[in-house]
Structure 1
Amino acid sequence: MENSQDESESDEQEQFLEMKPLWSLAPMFPLPMGYDVATQSTDPMLVFVTPFRSCTSPEQSPVSFGQPLPKSPIPLKATPISAAFPMPRHKDEPSDGDYKPFSGQKKPTPLKTAKRTQQAECSNAANTKRRSIQRSLNKELAFSSSLSSDPKESVEEAMIMFDSLRRHILQLDEKEDAGKRADLKAGSLMMQNGLRINSSKIIGPVPGVEIGDIFFFRIEMCIVGLHAPAMAGIDYISAKHAGKDEILAVSIISSGGYENDDNDMNILVYTGQGGNSRHKDKHDQKLERGNLALMNSMKKKNLIRVVRSAQDPFCNSSKIYIYDGLYWVEDSWTDRAKNGFSVFKYKLRREPGQRDGISVWKKTEKWKANPVTRNNVIRVDISSKAEKLPVCLVSDVDDQKGPSYFDYITGVEYSRPLSKTKPLQSCKCPSVCLPSDTNCSCAQLNSGYLPYSANGVLVKHIPMLYECSSTCQCCQNCRNRVTQKGVNLNFEVFWTGDCGWGVRSWDPIRAGTFICEYAGQVIDETNMNMGDEEDEYTFRTSWHSDKVSRWNLGAELLEEKSDNTTTENLKKLPIVISAKRSGNVARFLNHSCSPNLLWQPVQYDHGDDSYPHIMFFAMKHIPPMTELTYDYGTRVAPPGIKGKIPNVCKLKPCFCGSTNCRGSL
């Protein structure tokens, strides 16, 4: 598991700043060194109160980001949310100074500046190098962003960039034994370089953010404009209405820090903020700030975005945040909390007609406990216990009885014996491989870094990933043994309709998580008849796809040589893996021109002339019951073959439904 300080965040709703309402529009973020807040604009931006309406297609989506939704009846004035705006901190609020990603919160005085300059001149070479790395990240980000004009795609790109930065910063921090909270560092870099989207606060749905979307860090919600405060549970805006200054709530997070009642999927009883600080005596809550905003919203009946939380099934110290859609405050009253002090209670009711949000989680939790409770189950486990967890086969169509017969295997079978060459270099690590160990040979094979974070998340997509082998001295719990341990997700194979059988997971999946291996028979290029037409369960590494190149977006350092992950770097890969007669759940993964999975070659155990394994990883956070897809790529005929053997480069129609669909594959 990664350090809980990095992978989990404070969930205290009472961590709200005591300030004027307009100041609350800026998220609480540590500032990069030397950032001058006096340069920040305070010009007002128009914000519209928008009624609920579904936004499930590109035609229904707003055409630009960070702009008000069209045809909104009540224009409100609000200030823009700045990237790294410093906030006066209330004495009850825990400071982010403990994390100190780059510098302190306050603008330094001349005396302090001189002192810091003197200290900086006396710093050692390692610290000097680290500051250079940080500046390089800033510079690269400033020129690497090319957000799409489509709101959903832009949200995804911003999230991919953030997590790519976070993973690589964490990798650097671990190796150099630097500070934690890589999420705050990555978020601060993006904010500083203007890579936040939906920067103006709005009431109602946020363009590009869909109900059911999941977040592993509060700062992710800030980056996409779903919930601005980095710590407070209530987000609100200040508005001029009827000649009076009023504040209205725009979003809340129910994270378990207070005594909320969230068992009902359509009703949330939410406890107000304040009075429960860990840093001073407890007291009665006051009708101010977020509490007052919720009270005003009850009177105005404006819709409020609600984010609920759930326990991360793979990390006991972390929570996952789920956007559950739009609610409105139905009632409010005061109550006596368990600590004996008075608190405000707000009853919020979910707006009808929205897609499922947290209710999906409740269903999948029930299915994981007992798969037979899943409706329309054809077979509880098609793997016949070959996998650690059952792979359920379901169909909502009566005449679908299941796919054609195949042998379920969990690895690859070779059409020719592997030659007995010397094994890959083996590490001598006595227990586990450590990021700071410069003598670890497995880290050296991976360009000097361990390729996974402490909780098994892939850091970067690279030409070849080397895991520890059976000859390594480290134990089986080493963090560099991820894919070889097998699948750890609850899958179901389901009937999609036009695309046949597909795969989805009952678990929430974090970006970089290992999904499964593409199992089947490895077919050597020399033994393949190039005129043979491939079956629908064929995987080809020679098919070109550039969709995964953006997964490393923003994470590379300018001082490092760029990784060019193309087929030219993968000369040892198998040409074909056929899963027609034998395979695993990966044989049912469908194509998408906007995929959520990528494939990564991984080498371990065999000799240095053997084929690597083809492993799938998540490109982004994937909510439960979302179909898992990867880009099959574009068929490219080998030199001298094109035009002579039509089947080699014959295109098939694509039915992925993506807004970026190429039309064929």
Structure 2
Amino acid sequence: MTTSHIPSFNHMSSSSSPTPPLIPKPEPVTDSTDLQTPIPTSSSPPNLYTEFNNVAETFRSAFAQRLKRHDDVTVLNSLTGAIVTVPEEQDPVPVSVPSPSLVTRKPKPQERSSELVRITDVGPEGERQFREVVRKTRMIYDSLRIFLILEELREDFAMGSGSSSRRRGRADSKAASMMKERFLWLNRDKRIVGSIPGVQVGDIFFFRLELCVMGLHGQTQAGIDYLIGSRSSNGEPIATSVIVSGGYEDDDDRGDVIIYTGHGGQDKLGRQAEHQKLEGGNLAMERSMYYGIEVRVVRGFKYENSVSSKVYVYDGLFRIVDSWFDVGKSGFGVFKFRLERIGGQVEMGTSVLKFAKTLKTNPLSVRPSGYISFDISNRKEKAPVYLFNDIDDDREPLYYEYLASASFPRGILFQRSGDDGAGGCDCINGCGSGCLCEMKNGGQFAYDYSGNLIRMRPVIHECGPACKCPPSCRNRVTQKGLRSSLEVFRSVETGWGVRSLDILHAGAFICEYVGVALTREQASILTMNGDTLVYPARFSSARWKAWGDLSEVFPDDYERRPPPSYPQIPPVDFAMDVSKLRNVACYISHSTDSNVIVQFVLHDHNNIMFPRVMLFAAENIPPMTELSLDYGVSDDEWSPKLAICN
């Protein structure tokens, strides 16, 4: 199925799927002493604590009595949103989604559906297609966010000094708002219960509004996302997701078990100032607990990086197993909910983040065995390259000499940067608009101010030795070398593989693909006994042609919309020999569904036939995720042992 036939989540057809009733669970026990780990109560006077318990019991009893008035249980039809009656002993029917079909209707402005949908059994191909939709949407969001930042900077430069002090909205907020106006948000007219197709456990987001764009969490401020009762078919609110970010002092996050504090009652400074009420998100959580409906959990925490000061991680599905009214640390009444992670899911992304952080500071504390080397580059790289194998005794990467930068034949590098008569740029204070190197790149720099690739190009001209700009120049990215700690590891599936111990933001520079560059004549001699060379011209990044394409955001505004820079392979006419000298990149596995892209770069010479082969992250890559590259060969041709093309 081609991408054009992948449906938007907004337009999911549901007519052929069975009707799945949501069966209420037995009324949970309200006594908090049933918790596996006791929760310390407030030190408030006993009579006040008793009063809170009595109020909580009154609330819960009222709901129980209201539901028991019916002979059958009223539930939500999670596919059509209609009210149906189902005998209590009937088991829930899972919702399976057939092969996705395209529905072209767009929602009307302000249209929001009351439908609750649970999507399951999409199959491997369906999941792959949904993943592509998510990737494309995230790419548009990030490209638009960067475009708005650069547009503001250009306006400031054009208006002269002092203009940058004007009050402006944040680019991440503007980007989300513009995509919403153009109906580019996912899951806009359906509220999905459970997993979002195409969003995987461990996925990382750098902005709160990005969660809204993806349909993972629909509230821009509140920590509980829910379908309000007035839009629900049976008049009851249902919670779909929560964000755990430490915003409430009474939260207790233990990983697989969370004691989550309800919302409400806080002042402008985030302090609890009054009692919480059983309404809004709190009521939705109670109702989801009663019906046994799972909620998605996203954790947010501070994480200093070049993009933002916070990171949000999707940690999978949790079930609400208990709720009670308690005295908070502030002395005011709060609702608490015990969430337990549903089994059978992959490891939580936050657990992996903590594990990777520990590996960088004290690796032997969590991995007492398996390390072969803590830096196979022998300090030739600015960041260490670990070597780990806990599968067998193979130590092959130690048998090669580590080369930090590609070696080119001396005769072809006569065109050094500045030797073509044009010289380098004269930007003493840093490169900006009008820079000579900017002109070489078509009038726009290829990187944003965080050093991330804005869009792919046939070749990027970085500032070089002849340029007068400082080393901190935004147009000197790849020549600064490795910035993230990488690990070469032994894998059952791919032989040797590579993963990062840091978060890699989409567009982040990873490393250079290094070996000994050979001319066509040199390569022909070495291949007489069999071809064991890497050919950079074969590397494929065709899946990322749309990087930076904003045509869906600016369909009629061609002046504001930068045209997509489709990567045309320059006349690259060399091979790379990695049989004796190589670097960490040579162990990256092959995949046609890769998360790493190739970008040709020139900075120390101007011979376009021999560019440097630079690798960038094609998406937000969480730590400990295996990196993959499309070498432009079939799976049968790939040799994981030598990481070379046959």
Would you call these one fold, judging by a TM-score over 0.5?
A: yes
Read off the aligned partner of 2:262 and give its amino acid letter: G
CA distance in 2: counterparts of 1:242 and 1:253, whole angstroms: 22
| 2:181 counterpart of 1:196 | no
Look up the SS of the partner of 1:528 in the other structure.
helix
In structure 2, the partner of 1:439 is 434
Aligned mate of 2:537, from 532, 535, 541: 541
CA distance in 2: counterparts of 1:48 and 1:225, whole angstroms: 22
| 2:53 counterpart of 1:64 | no
CA distance in 2: counterparts of 1:490 and 1:51, whole angstroms: 47
Distance of aligned partners of 1:174 and 1:52 in 2 relative to their CA distance in 1, 3 Å threshold = farther
In structure 2, the partner of 1:627 is 626
Deviation at 1:307, TM superposition (A): 0.5
In structure 1, the partner of 2:29 is none
Distance of aligned partners of 1:386 and 1:249 in 2 relative to their CA distance in 1, 3 Å threshold = same
CA contact (8 A) 1:262 1:268 kept: yes
In structure 1, the partner of 2:582 is 583
CA distance in 2: counterparts of 1:171 and 1:533, whole angstroms: 52
Read off the aligned partner of 2:579 and give its amino acid letter: K
CA contact (8 A) 1:214 1:320 kept: yes
Look up the SS of the partner of 1:320 in the other structure.
strand
Aligned mate of 1:211, from 201, 210, 213: 201
| 2:396 counterpart of 1:392 | no
Aligned mate of 1:166, from 145, 151, 174: 145
Look up the SS of the partner of 1:413 in the other structure.
coil
CA contact (8 A) 1:272 1:343 kept: yes
Deviations 1:529-558 (A, max 9, x none): 175477656242245552221333436973
Give the fraction of aligned pairs with identical amino acids, expressed as a percent.
36
Look up the SS of the partner of 1:195 in the other structure.
coil
Distance of aligned partners of 1:361 and 1:561 in 2 relative to their CA distance in 1, 3 Å threshold = closer
Read off the aligned partner of 1:413 and give its amino acid letter: S
Read off the aligned partner of 2:431 and give its amino acid letter: C
Q: What are the residue-to-residue correspondences of 1:131-142 with 2, within 5 Å?
A: none
Deviation at 1:252, TM superposition (A): 0.5
CA contact (8 A) 1:52 1:303 kept: no
CA distance in 1: counterparts of 2:575 and 2:304, whole angstroms: 35
In structure 1, the partner of 2:281 is 290
Deviations 1:146-171 (A, max 9, x none): x9982222222222232233233333
Read off the aligned partner of 1:348 and give its amino acid letter: L
| 2:461 counterpart of 1:466 | yes
Distance of aligned partners of 1:562 and 1:251 in 2 relative to their CA distance in 1, 3 Å threshold = closer
Look up the SS of the partner of 2:211 in the other structure.
helix
Aligned mate of 2:291, from 300, 306, 315: 300
Deviations 1:602-651 (A, max 9, x none): 2213355683221111111111211111111259xxxxxxxxxxxxxxx9
CA contact (8 A) 2:250 2:329 kept: no
In structure 1, the partner of 2:333 is 342
Distance of aligned partners of 1:248 and 1:579 in 2 relative to their CA distance in 1, 3 Å threshold = same
Look up the SS of the partner of 2:397 in the other structure.
coil
Deviation at 1:404, TM superposition (A): 6.2
Across the aligned residues of Structure 1 and Structure 2, the Cα RMSD in angstroms comes to 3.7
Aligned mate of 1:365, from 332, 335, 357: 357
Read off the aligned partner of 1:396 and give its amino acid letter: D
Deviation at 1:263, TM superposition (A): 4.6
In structure 2, the partner of 1:483 is 478
Deviation at 1:261, TM superposition (A): 4.2
CA distance in 2: counterparts of 1:524 and 1:302, whole angstroms: 63
Deviations 1:118-143 (A, max 9, x none): xxxxxxxxxxxxxxxxxxxxxxxxxx
Aligned mate of 2:226, from 225, 236, 242: 236
CA contact (8 A) 2:250 2:328 kept: no
Distance of aligned partners of 1:223 and 1:243 in 2 relative to their CA distance in 1, 3 Å threshold = closer
Deviation at 1:64, TM superposition (A): 2.8
Distance of aligned partners of 1:378 and 1:185 in 2 relative to their CA distance in 1, 3 Å threshold = same
Deviation at 1:517, TM superposition (A): 0.6
Deviation at 1:348, TM superposition (A): 1.2
In structure 1, the partner of 2:424 is 426
In structure 2, the partner of 1:505 is 500
Aligned mate of 1:248, from 227, 238, 258: 238
Distance of aligned partners of 1:532 and 1:226 in 2 relative to their CA distance in 1, 3 Å threshold = farther
In structure 2, the partner of 1:90 is none
CA distance in 2: counterparts of 1:617 and 1:468, whole angstroms: 18
Look up the SS of the partner of 1:344 in the other structure.
strand
CA distance in 1: counterparts of 2:535 and 2:403, whole angstroms: 16
CA distance in 2: counterparts of 1:470 and 1:238, whole angstroms: 61
Deviations 1:56-89 (A, max 9, x none): xxxx97633899xxxxxxxxxxxx99697499xx
Distance of aligned partners of 1:194 and 1:378 in 2 relative to their CA distance in 1, 3 Å threshold = same
Deviations 1:360-390 (A, max 9, x none): 1221111111233335222222112222222
Distance of aligned partners of 1:583 and 1:607 in 2 relative to their CA distance in 1, 3 Å threshold = same
Aligned mate of 1:185, from 174, 177, 181: 174
CA distance in 2: counterparts of 1:155 and 1:48, whole angstroms: 29
Read off the aligned partner of 1:416 and give its amino acid letter: R
Distance of aligned partners of 1:609 and 1:326 in 2 relative to their CA distance in 1, 3 Å threshold = closer
Deviation at 1:352, TM superposition (A): 1.7
CA distance in 1: counterparts of 2:519 and 2:211, whole angstroms: 47
CA distance in 2: counterparts of 1:317 and 1:544, whole angstroms: 30
Structure 1 unmatched runs, 5+: 1-43, 68-79, 88-146, 636-650, 657-663
TM norm structure 1: 0.70
CA contact (8 A) 1:426 1:471 kept: yes
Read off the aligned partner of 2:460 and give its amino acid letter: L
Moved more, 180-189 or 297-306: 180-189
CA contact (8 A) 2:547 2:564 kept: no
Read off the aligned partner of 2:582 and give its amino acid letter: G
Read off the aligned partner of 1:196 and give its amino acid letter: W
Distance of aligned partners of 1:243 and 1:593 in 2 relative to their CA distance in 1, 3 Å threshold = closer
Deviations 1:231-263 (A, max 9, x none): 221101146999962112110011232226455
Read off the aligned partner of 2:600 and give its amino acid letter: P
Distance of aligned partners of 1:277 and 1:614 in 2 relative to their CA distance in 1, 3 Å threshold = farther
Deviations 1:293-348 (A, max 9, x none): 11222333321110012333424952111110111123333445555543332221
In structure 1, the partner of 2:345 is 354
Distance of aligned partners of 1:613 and 1:262 in 2 relative to their CA distance in 1, 3 Å threshold = farther
Find the structure with the greater CA-based Rg: 2
Distance of aligned partners of 1:52 and 1:235 in 2 relative to their CA distance in 1, 3 Å threshold = farther
CA contact (8 A) 1:407 1:583 kept: yes
Look up the SS of the partner of 2:235 in the other structure.
strand
TM norm structure 2: 0.72
In structure 2, the partner of 1:99 is none
CA contact (8 A) 2:219 2:225 kept: yes
Look up the SS of the partner of 1:167 in the other structure.
helix
CA distance in 1: counterparts of 2:311 and 2:106, whole angstroms: 24
CA distance in 2: counterparts of 1:414 and 1:355, whole angstroms: 44
Moved more, 228-237 or 423-432: 423-432
Distance of aligned partners of 1:253 and 1:173 in 2 relative to their CA distance in 1, 3 Å threshold = same
CA distance in 1: counterparts of 2:102 and 2:254, whole angstroms: 33
Aligned mate of 1:225, from 215, 218, 221: 215
In structure 1, the partner of 2:312 is 321
Aligned mate of 1:566, from 564, 568, 572: 568
Distance of aligned partners of 1:149 and 1:378 in 2 relative to their CA distance in 1, 3 Å threshold = closer
Moved more, 606-615 or 391-400: 606-615
Aligned mate of 2:403, from 409, 416, 437: 409
Look up the SS of the partner of 2:192 in the other structure.
coil
In structure 2, the partner of 1:123 is none
Deviation at 1:279, TM superposition (A): 7.5
Deviation at 1:654, TM superposition (A): 5.8
Moved more, 513-522 or 399-408: 399-408
CA distance in 2: counterparts of 1:245 and 1:593, whole angstroms: 47
Deviation at 1:522, TM superposition (A): 1.3
Deviation at 1:448, TM superposition (A): 2.3
Distance of aligned partners of 1:279 and 1:311 in 2 relative to their CA distance in 1, 3 Å threshold = closer
CA distance in 1: counterparts of 2:493 and 2:370, whole angstroms: 19
In structure 1, the partner of 2:596 is 597
In structure 1, the partner of 2:303 is 312
Structure 2 unmatched runs, 5+: 1-77, 84-90, 113-125, 157-163
